[in-house]
Amino acid sequence: MIVNRKKLNFLERLYVPAVIGGFKITIRHFFKKKVTMQYPEEKWVVPEGYRGAPYLVKDQQGRTKCVSCQLCEFVCPPKAIQITPPGPGGLPEAGNVEKGPREFEINMLRCIFCGLCQEVCPEEAIFLMKDYSLNGKSREELIHNKEKLLAMGGVHNDKIQKWKTKADEARQQGL
């Protein structure tokens, strides 16, 4: 089968219509709203329900809320969380918590940000923050230990203070 092609005129052979068509598209895009974001000066507005990196939080007295139950470690699909319980005697800074963790590590390179650790935590000690920029110069920097996780997570103000003692209540009322 032979396909007969249309003969090109002089302007079409010079590709002038194609170049003009390209300029039209360029000018049209020039006047459209810009979609480029100047990161890091401009940041995204994180939508509701966004699952960022998991961090540990403290209670109002500045104590670790984690009770080393290890549920988050067991439920983590990629096994990114490692918890070392305190052993006999517990930790002195744990307050009323029976056993705070001696070591708590989250490997952010393995974490898939699924949110199962937050869902399973009975003490609401682990939360997914709304950050989306995890970076480091080495792999070791992206393995967060307990101190780093607590510093990034900060204090979580609960309405229900489960570990509040009667002495704390009396101090608060000024008795």
pLDDT the model gives residue 82: 95
Q: Is residue 1 part of a domain?
A: no
Q: Is residue 18 part of a domain?
A: no
Element (H, E) at 126: strand 126-128
Q: Is residue 34 part of a domain?
A: no
Across the range 37-60, mean pLDDT stands at 88
Residues 30-40: tens digit of each pLDDT = 999 888 888 88
Instruction: State the virtual CA torsion across 54, 59, 62, 68 in degrees, nearest 10.
Output: -60
Across the range 159-166, mean pLDDT stands at 61
What are the Cα distances from residue 140, in Å, to 37, 108, 113, 131, 164? 30, 10, 19, 20, 37
Return d(Cα 50, Cα 2) in angstroms, integer. Answer: 59
Q: ω into residue 40 within 30 of 0, thus cis?
A: yes
**CATH classification of the domain holding 141:** 3.30.70.3270
Q: Is residue 44 part of a domain?
A: no
Q: Which residues contact 154 (CB under 8 A, 6 or more apart)?
A: 57, 58
For the chain, report the end-to-end CA distance as a whole number of angstroms.
102
Number of structural domains found in the chain: 1
Confidence grade of residue 126 (pLDDT, cut at 50, 70, 90) = very high
Confidence grade of residue 44 (pLDDT, cut at 50, 70, 90) = confident
Range of the domain at 135: 54-158
Instruction: State the virtual CA torsion across 16, 17, 18, 23 in degrees, nearest 10.
Output: 90
Return d(Cα 99, Cα 85) in angstroms, integer. Answer: 7
pLDDT the model gives residue 148: 93
Neighbours of 104 (CB within 10 A): 25
Residues 95-104: tens digit of each pLDDT = 555 678 899 9
Lowest-confidence region among 63-72, 117-126, 156-165: 156-165
pTM of the model: 0.67
Q: Is residue 61 part of a domain?
A: yes
Q: Is residue 16 part of a domain?
A: no
- Listed residue (56, 115, 106) closest to 81, CA to CA: 106
The SS3 assignment for 19 reads helix
- Listed residue (110, 25, 27) closest to 73, CA to CA: 110
Return d(Cα 130, Cα 10) in angstroms, integer. Answer: 60
Q: Does the pLDDT of residue 170 top 70, yes or no? A: no
Q: Is residue 37 part of a domain?
A: no
Q: Is residue 24 part of a domain?
A: no
